[in-house]
């Protein structure tokens, strides 16, 4: 049975190893799609609608076409079609410089006949709201209902009940490298695209289909990419437009979204508004849960969220509705549906615990069926100093009040079949590992090198890893759902093991030993029964002569496991005069299975916590109901965490088993709930709406006084 071996036997796996791309990234040598400069390259830009709902009644490209330096102008929407959200594509240009492209976009004339629009959930659901989707009754989807147990019977057993409404607004991904592509054709037949994507093969498939080409005539390259968080799974309109502009002009075209467009059209996390009534028995068992909720994913659907979350409720009814608004579509965003669902559930848990007069940690111990998290509660509580948590919320003197809270999360991340990989040992001793996955900044490139080096007794820096390119024809899935490591690692390991066995078979006669007696370590192959018989790595591979060993691997289920439990504890300080909230410390205990690279795993956990913190205290998309426009489509007014917001973060890699599990998404889930509960503990007033900003804190305090 395949296994990763014991921790004590691992020389590299599970250690803290700096990533291989580090040098290129700190020196500016790393080339992202945005950095690709091709000979004769043109710059593409897209004219987008500023109006949220309109009929296109006229489009005149002639002035833009006449501008010197403009090489192509193409319509994207036809006259007679409808604009359905701000930012929707109208036409595109390609020009000699980006500044000329900017000028040319301004010269495109589009006549829009404005239609009534709704851009907030409340407006969309209001009586008499304009119908904005043809396929729905009103602006709401059919409700999705789930029922279990006997709800009324459950409430009859409840000793305490809580009824509350929790809100989480729309958040945007804010990838620092905007969505974008550089497209270049050769003879109208072969298309090469550098793409900032989480799925090189998915992007190839889409472009091949769009241009009616066989897939082997499209090459997609993603050497480095500047963040995706779930929003970059295909070329989108902008990628197809870049390729079309390049085809028309016969020149390479770079087309990156502007920062504003990135906020408007490149995806977002849907909102969540849920009204919940729940009850618990006198001995602290969650017994009944009744939730009605909705959210918006823009003009599309997809505004799901988890409710209830992680804790066991025997009797429940949930009803969820999607609300359509004239705003750009949602896309998967780091643990879709989870952080907002967790925020509501963990807030509710604390509210129930308080009514029971029970410590919220104790209440979770009773209701959380997950054994891993039970162990994490103990560890996290110790780390944060849970015994210091004040038992009376809001108590204490002075204007700055401290509090503690906790939250929980659960994710899958067990990977799947479908990755092909090859490990090649060359006669000069060099080793290549190739697969068609992509490194989003998660460190998969380095992890692959670690796995191969561990198997072959080499150093990670000895391994040349090639990912992010469709050309070798070794497909892998898109990097989403925290599935990458658990999908790729088993295939790489089995490929490396197969290559090693082939090499051993060549060396065995030389060492006069059976293949099964051979081992490799520290650049040397030796015979386990007679350690005097050795051969250096380079000498061994030299025996291959003109040949190379090149082996593929299989996805072995025994090497991976789904299920990543996590819990986080937060300590905060709130100034009750200014409403200023400072997160002081977060302890994140994150189950991740076998951490191939402990250092990169810690980075992932830190990163998840910080994204969760942004959702908890800063991030909110503001739509103006009057103009139909987003008011903060920039990085000045849409705040993401900066240095001042960063608390002390204790990221604990909770590796209880030695099978690979993905950890990209889970660490962002428990954070908002933990912070919200800590704020309550600090000031004794609950803020049920994210982000928890100073004005919301002050309003809550004022309402309590009133």
Partner 1 sequence: MPDKEKKQGTNISRRNFLKGVGTGTVAATVAPSVLISGEKAADAQMDAAVERATVTLHINGAPYVVEVEARTTLLTVLRDGIDTTGNTIDLTGAKLICDRGECGGCTVMIDGNPVYACMMLAMDAQDKQITTVEGLADGDDLHPVQEAFIQHDALMCGFCTPGFVVSSAALLNENAKPTLEEIKVGLSGNTCRCGTYPFIFDAVKTASRKM
Q: Choose between 131 and 510: whose C-beta lies nearer to partner 1.
A: 131
Coil, strand, or helix at residue 308?
A: coil
CB 536, CB 428: distance < 8 Å: no
Alpha carbons within 13 A on the beta-carbon side of 65: 10
Q: Choose between 88 and 370: whose C-beta lies nearer to partner 1.
A: 88
Closest CA to 479 of 283, 268, 585, 334: 334
Q: Choose between 108 and 497: whose C-beta lies nearer to partner 1.
A: 108
Q: Choose between 19 and 240: whose C-beta lies nearer to partner 1.
A: 19
Q: Choose between 284 and 481: whose C-beta lies nearer to partner 1.
A: 481
Closest approach of partner 1 to the CB of residue 507, in Å: 35
Closest approach of partner 1 to the CB of residue 176, in Å: 4
Q: Choose between 115 and 164: whose C-beta lies nearer to partner 1.
A: 115
Tell me whether the omega of the peptide bond preceding residue 62 falls within 30 degrees of 0, making it cis. no
Q: Choose between 175 and 313: whose C-beta lies nearer to partner 1.
A: 175
Q: Choose between 529 and 643: whose C-beta lies nearer to partner 1.
A: 643
Q: Which two tokens stand for residue 387?
A: 């015994």
As a whole number of angstroms, the distance between CA 159 and CA 387 comes to: 27
HEC states along 49-73?
CCCCCEEEEEEECHHHHHCCCEEEE
Q: Which two tokens stand for residue 280?
A: 């618990």
Phi-psi category of 111—alpha, beta or left, where left has phi over 0 and alpha has psi -120 to 50?
A: beta
Q: Choose between 66 and 505: whose C-beta lies nearer to partner 1.
A: 66
What helix, strand, coil percent values describe the chain, rounded to 5? 30, 25, 40
Contacts of 641 (CB under 8 A, 6+ apart): 610, 611, 613, 614, 618
| Chain Cα centroid distance, residue 195 | 17
Q: Choose between 42 and 679: whose C-beta lies nearer to partner 1.
A: 42
Closest approach of partner 1 to the CB of residue 335, in Å: 14
Q: Choose between 218 and 611: whose C-beta lies nearer to partner 1.
A: 611
Q: Choose between 26 and 392: whose C-beta lies nearer to partner 1.
A: 26
As a whole number of angstroms, the distance between CA 149 and CA 317 comes to: 9
Contacts of 209 (CB under 8 A, 6+ apart): none
Closest approach of partner 1 to the CB of residue 177, in Å: 5
Closest approach of partner 1 to the CB of residue 496, in Å: 24
Neighbour tally for 599: CB within 10 Å = 16
Closest approach of partner 1 to the CB of residue 41, in Å: 9
HEC states along 516-541?
HHEEEECCEEEECCEEEEEEEHHHHH
Strand 109-114 relative to strand 54-60, pairing:
antiparallel
Strand 463-466 relative to strand 431-435, pairing:
parallel
Closest CA to 254 of 175, 192, 200: 192
Closest approach of partner 1 to the CB of residue 571, in Å: 16
CB 433, CB 439: distance < 8 Å: no
Local structure of residue 12 (DSSP, 8 states): S
Closest approach of partner 1 to the CB of residue 75, in Å: 14
Closest approach of partner 1 to the CB of residue 476, in Å: 18
Closest approach of partner 1 to the CB of residue 514, in Å: 42
Closest approach of partner 1 to the CB of residue 246, in Å: 17
Q: Choose between 609 and 687: whose C-beta lies nearer to partner 1.
A: 609
Which whole-number Å values give the CA distances from 453 to 3, 15, 495, 679, 688, in the listed order?
16, 13, 12, 47, 50
As a whole number of angstroms, the distance between CA 110 and CA 493 comes to: 56
Q: Which two tokens stand for residue 549?
A: 């060993």
Q: Choose between 328 and 628: whose C-beta lies nearer to partner 1.
A: 628
Which whole-number Å values give the CA distances from 605 to 273, 327, 450, 600, 667, in the listed order?
27, 31, 20, 9, 5
Q: Choose between 100 and 327: whose C-beta lies nearer to partner 1.
A: 100
As a whole number of angstroms, the distance between CA 176 and CA 626 comes to: 29
| Chain Cα centroid distance, residue 491 | 23
* Burial (CB count <10 Å: 0-12, 13-18, 19+), residue 347: buried
Closest approach of partner 1 to the CB of residue 339, in Å: 14
Q: Choose between 115 and 215: whose C-beta lies nearer to partner 1.
A: 115
Tell me whether the omega of the peptide bond preceding residue 116 falls within 30 degrees of 0, making it cis. no
Coil, strand, or helix at residue 75?
A: strand
Closest approach of partner 1 to the CB of residue 142, in Å: 31
Backbone angles phi, psi at 509, to 5 degrees: -60, -40
Closest approach of partner 1 to the CB of residue 611, in Å: 6
Closest approach of partner 1 to the CB of residue 485, in Å: 14
Closest CA to 654 of 368, 379, 361, 342: 379
Closest approach of partner 1 to the CB of residue 646, in Å: 4
As a whole number of angstroms, the distance between CA 347 and CA 165 comes to: 10
As a whole number of angstroms, the distance between CA 63 and CA 67 comes to: 7
């Amino acid at each position: 049975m395949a296994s990763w071996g014991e921790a004590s036997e691992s020389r590299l796996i599970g250690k803290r190893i700096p990533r291989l791309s580090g040098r290129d990234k700190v020196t500016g040598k790393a080339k992202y799609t945005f950095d690709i400069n091709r000979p004769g390259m043109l710059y593409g830009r897209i004219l987008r609608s500023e109006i949220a709902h309109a009929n296109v009644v006229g489009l005149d490209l002639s002035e833009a076409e006449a501008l010197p330096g403009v090489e192509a102008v193409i319509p994207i929407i036809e006259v007679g079609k409808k604009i359905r959200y701000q930012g929707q594509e109208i036409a595109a240009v390609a020009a000699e410089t980006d500044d000329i492209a900017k000028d040319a976009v301004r010269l495109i004339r589009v006549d829009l006949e404005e239609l009534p629009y709704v851009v907030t959930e409340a407006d969309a659901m209001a009586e008499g709201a304009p119908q904005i989707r043809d396929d729905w009754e009103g602006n709401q989807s059919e409700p999705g209902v789930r029922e279990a147990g006997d709800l009324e019977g459950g409430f009859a057993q409840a000793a305490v009940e809580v009824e509350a409404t929790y809100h989480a607004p729309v958040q945007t991904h804010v990838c620092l490298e905007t969505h974008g592509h550089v497209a270049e054709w050769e003879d109208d037949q072969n298309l090469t695209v550098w793409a900032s994507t989480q799925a090189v093969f998915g992007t190839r498939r889409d472009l091949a289909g769009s241009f009616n080409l066989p897939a082997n005539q499209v090459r997609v390259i993603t050497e480095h990419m500047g963040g995706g968080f779930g929003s970059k799974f295909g070329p989108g309109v902008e990628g197809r437009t870049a390729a079309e502009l390049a085809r028309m002009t016969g020149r390479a075209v770079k087309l990156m979204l502007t920062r504003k467009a990135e906020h408007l059209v490149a995806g977002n996390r849907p909102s969540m508004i849920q009204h919940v009534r729940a009850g618990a028995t006198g001995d602290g068992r969650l017994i009944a849960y009744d939730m009605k909720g909705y959210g918006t994913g823009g003009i599309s659907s997809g505004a799901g969220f988890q409710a209830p979350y992680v804790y066991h409720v025997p009797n429940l009814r949930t009803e969820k509705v999607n609300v359509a608004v004239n705003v750009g579509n949602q896309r998967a965003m780091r643990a879709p549906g989870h952080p907002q669902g967790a925020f509501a559930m963990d807030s509710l848990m604390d509210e129930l615990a308080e009514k029971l007069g029970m410590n919220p940690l104790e209440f979770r111990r009773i209701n959380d069926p997950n054994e891993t998290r039970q162990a994490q509660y103990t560890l996290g509580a110790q780390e944060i100093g849970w015994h210091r948590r004040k038992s009376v919320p809001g108590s204490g003197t002075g204007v700055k009040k401290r509090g503690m809270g906790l939250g929980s999360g659960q994710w899958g991340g067990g990977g799947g079949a479908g990755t092909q990989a090859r490990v090649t040992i060359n006669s000069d001793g060099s080793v290549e590992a190739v697969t068609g996955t992509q490194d989003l900044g998660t460190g998969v490139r380095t992890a692959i090198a670690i796995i191969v080096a561990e198997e072959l007794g080499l150093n990670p820096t000895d391994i040349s890893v090639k990912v992010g390119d469709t050309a070798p024809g070794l497909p892998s899935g898109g990097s989403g759902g925290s599935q990458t490591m658990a999908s790729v690692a088993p295939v790489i390991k089995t490929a490396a093991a197969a290559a090693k066995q082939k090499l051993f078979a060549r060396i065995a006669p030389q060492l006069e030993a059976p293949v099964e007696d051979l081992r490799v370590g520290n650049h040397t192959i030796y015979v386990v029964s007679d350690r005097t018989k050795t051969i250096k790595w380079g000498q061994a591979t030299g025996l291959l002569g003109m040949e190379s060993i090149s082996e593929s691997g299989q996805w072995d289920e025994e090497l991976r496991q789904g299920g990543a439990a996590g819990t986080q504890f937060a300590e905060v300080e709130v100034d009750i005069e200014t409403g200023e909230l400072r997160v002081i410390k977060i302890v994140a205990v994150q189950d991740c299975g076998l951490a191939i690279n402990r250092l990169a795993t810690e980075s992932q956990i830190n990163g998840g916590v910080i994204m969760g913190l942004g959702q908890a205290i800063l991030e909110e998309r503001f739509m103006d109901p009057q103009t139909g426009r987003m008011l903060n489509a920039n990085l000045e007014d849409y705040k993401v965490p900066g240095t001042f917001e960063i608390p002390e973060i204790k990221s604990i890699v909770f590796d209880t088993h030695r099978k690979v599990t993905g950890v990209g998404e889970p660490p962002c889930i428990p954070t908002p709930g933990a912070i919200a509960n800590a704020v309550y503990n600090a000031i004794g007033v609950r803020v049920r709406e994210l982000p928890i900003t100073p004005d919301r804190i002050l309003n809550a305090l004022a309402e309590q006084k009133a």
